[in-house]
């Protein structure tokens, strides 16, 4: 009843309403392609129940991110050419393009615990990052989740300027099962935002 509603004024309103499946009128049923609640069902190689038809991107559910869709598209083409590849989702960057930016990749602390990992945390604050001060945005941090047994990087979170760019470095590290030593032996440019990763690794070894 709108007559009983209170009216308030706000500077900004953020609506997070999710996404609805839009697969109608694609002729999926006529083609005999299996779906589940509107999403196209695929196997581990992104092939549908019809041997000659593959699907990738938002239409199959999953992450519903543009960069994941592009990756799945590449896998799909390779499989059409007979490569028999499976997508690897272990290092998908999740990015929020707010100000400051937020980005993460790999396992969260909770997920790592559920998988039985013993972990350590390494963190570095942008207050000690020269380039962050040069750009006038010294608020932020890098946090690494590390396997305490072999020092392999399991996950990462970055908050602050350049987070959505920097996370790609850590996605590469996780995808290739790198440990913190591999990063500590890498020369990062100075001054730069990327050296925040080197400083995070330094803090890990310092502790």
Which residue numbers are catalytic?
Answer: 190
For the chain, where are the alpha helices, taking DSSP H only?
28-31, 66-80, 109-114, 130-134, 163-175, 180-184, 195-206
Q: Are 202 and 142 in contact (CB under 8 A)?
A: no
Cis bond leading into 191, ω under 30°? Answer: yes
Residue where the block lists tokens 């996950």:
155
Q: What is the DSSP letter of 54?
A: B
């Amino acid at each position: 009843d709108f007559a009983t509603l209170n009216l308030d004024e706000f500077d900004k309103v953020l609506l997070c309403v999710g996404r609805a499946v839009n697969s109608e009128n694609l002729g999926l049923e006529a083609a005999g392609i299996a779906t589940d609640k509107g999403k196209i069902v695929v196997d581990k190689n992104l092939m549908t129940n019809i041997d000659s038809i593959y699907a990738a991107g938002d239409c199959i559910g999953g992450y519903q991110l543009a960069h994941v869709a592009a990756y799945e598209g590449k896998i799909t083409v390779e499989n059409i050419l007979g490569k028999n590849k499976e997508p690897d989702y272990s290092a998908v960057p999740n990015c929020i393009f707010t100000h400051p930016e937020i980005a993460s990749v790999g396992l969260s602390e909770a997920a790592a615990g559920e998988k039985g990992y013993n972990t350590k945390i390494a963190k570095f604050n942008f207050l000690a990052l020269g380039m962050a001060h040069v750009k006038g945005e010294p608020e932020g941090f890098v946090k690494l989740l590390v396997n305490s047994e072999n020092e392999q990087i399991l996950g990462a979170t970055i908050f602050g300027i350049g987070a959505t760019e920097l996370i790609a470095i850590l996605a590469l590290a996780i995808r290739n099962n790198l440990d913190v030593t591999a990063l500590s032996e890498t020369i990062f440019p100075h001054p730069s935002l990327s050296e925040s990763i080197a400083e995070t690794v330094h803090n890990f070894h310092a502790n």
